[in-house]
Structure formats: C-alpha cells, structure tokens
Amino acid sequence: MGLKTVSGQGKTRMAEASALDLNGVAVHPGYLDAGAQAAMVEDLRGVIRAAPLYAPVTPSGKPMSVRMTAAGRYGWFTDRKGYRYEERHPAGGAWPAIPESVLSVWRDLVSAERMPDCCLVNFYAEGARMGLHQDRDEADFTWPVLSISLGDEALFRVGGTARKDPTRSVWLRSGDVAVMGGAARLAYHGIDRVRPGSSALLPKGGRINLTLRVVD
C-alpha cells in the first residue's frame, strides 16, 4: 500500500489553507477553478457516453432519485440483490477509465502512490437527494473517500459514525472538494437538496458528484 497523506498537512496549495472542517470532513471550497471544472465536465461526457447514467434501485426496491454511473476498475452498484461493487456496467461493458483530470485531484489531496479503483458518478436533477448513509462497502477504511462537486449547489449534511449523532450542514458549490478520511471516513452523510439554477456549468442544469474510493 502506498504512502498516505492526511489532508491539510504538509501541503502548499492555497486551497489547503482554506479547508473547512465539517465534523471531521475536510471541505476545500473552490478547489477547482472554472476552467478545471469545464475540462472535467468534458471528460465526464466521455465517461457517460461509454457508460450511460442509469436509474439505480435500493435493495428494498425503492428507486433512487439520483442517476448513476462509474469509471474505474469497479463501479459501486445497487439493485434488489444489494449494495456492492461490480466490474461491469449493467449494460455489460467494462467501466471506462477514470479521467486524468479527476485522478489529479486524488493525487493532490490523498496519495500519489495508490490510485482509486472507483469513481462513482451521481447526477442530481432538480428534486434529487441522497439520504444519510455511510460509505462502507470498501475493504480498507484507512483510505479516504474524496468527493468532487460540479454544477448546482447542494446541501451536504455530515454526522458522526452513529446514525443518531448530531449533524452539521454546508452548501457544496461547483468546484468544491470534500475529503472524508480518518475518524470521518465512516461518518453518516447525505444531500438534503440541490438548488436549481445556482450554477451555469451544466447547460441543462443539475449537479454531478464524483466520489473516488479505494475498493480492495
């Protein structure tokens, strides 16, 4: 396993200096500038062409309000059979590679030695949300989960490692990056709502969230 850096330590980037602590989650406001966001969206168009967004269903049969796809060796997946990682898109093809523009954020904030296995792509149209949950389908929780927000603003809620723990919220804006690591790796988190029309990045509106994970 490669060398890991603790977010916020030993870094020289300006964005590091202004990271906010939300119940242990390091939020880096404006980490990606407008040009970097636009370039990443272009790269993601290629991902979505190769692996189209689909409508996931929870194990209890409830449709999720986000649409989803993935890049990397594995895609996080849910259907009636349960939450898991899959090596193939539901249409049968392998997931496309994680774009270099996305990997470079991981390299800067997490590790240059070990790349993530999965880049989960969540698309929030108006009205979509994500209930409080933990990311716990990975083998090694010492690796953080890194989250990139693009497009419309979203109200991000973070609690502790028990569902009943008190929560705090922040609006994530386009270009913000959050790192859930250390004691916050298993923090409950979710998206209460998105603010339609709050960003011009995506011509038809909506929000893309990327989460990068080491899976096994």
Q: Give the DSSP H/E element, type plus range, for residue 42.
A: helix 34-50
What are the structure tokens assigned to 81, written together? 């059979």
Spatial contact of 96 and 47, defined as CB atoms under 8 Å apart = yes
Q: Which stretch binds ligand SIN (CB under 6 A): 11-19, 23-31, 38-46, 149-157?
A: 149-157
Residue 147 contacts which entry, Mn ion, ligand SIN, none (Cβ below 5-8 A, type-dependent): ligand SIN
211 part of the interface to ligand SIN, by CB under 6 A: yes
Nearest approach in angstroms of CB 33 to Mn ion is 25
Distance in angstroms (rounded) separating the CA atoms of residues 171 and 122: 17
Q: Cα 178 vs. chain centroid, distance in angstroms? A: 8
DSSP 104-136: HHHHHHT-SSS--SEEEEEEE-TT--EEEE---
Residue 213 contacts which entry, Mn ion, ligand SIN, none (Cβ below 5-8 A, type-dependent): none
DSSP 136-173: --SS-TTSPEEEEEEESEEEEEE--SSTTS--EEEEE-
156 part of the interface to ligand SIN, by CB under 6 A: yes
135 part of the interface to Mn ion, by CB under 5 A: yes
Q: Which of 23, 122, 167, 174 binds ligand SIN (CB under 6 A)?
A: 122
Residue among 50 and 83 whose Cβ is closer to Mn ion: 83
Nearest approach in angstroms of CB 131 to Mn ion is 10
Distance in angstroms (rounded) separating the CA atoms of residues 147 and 199: 18
Sheet harboring 168-172: ordered strands across? 130-133, 189-195, 153-158, 168-172
Q: Which stretch binds Mn ion (CB under 5 A): 10-18, 19-27, 36-44, 127-135?
A: 127-135
**3-state DSSP call for residue 177?**
strand
Q: Which stretch binds ligand SIN (CB under 6 A): 23-31, 90-98, 99-107, 148-156?
A: 148-156
| Binding to ligand SIN in span 172-201, by CB under 6 A | 172, 189, 191
Q: Which stretch binds Mn ion (CB under 5 A): 4-12, 39-47, 60-68, 132-140?
A: 132-140
| CA angle in degrees (0–180, nearest 5) for 90-96-97 | 145
In the bound state, the residue with its beta carbon closest to ligand SIN is: 209
130 part of the interface to ligand SIN, by CB under 6 A: yes
- Would you tell me which residues interact with ligand SIN (CB under 6 A)? 122, 130, 147, 149, 154, 156, 172, 189, 191, 209, 211
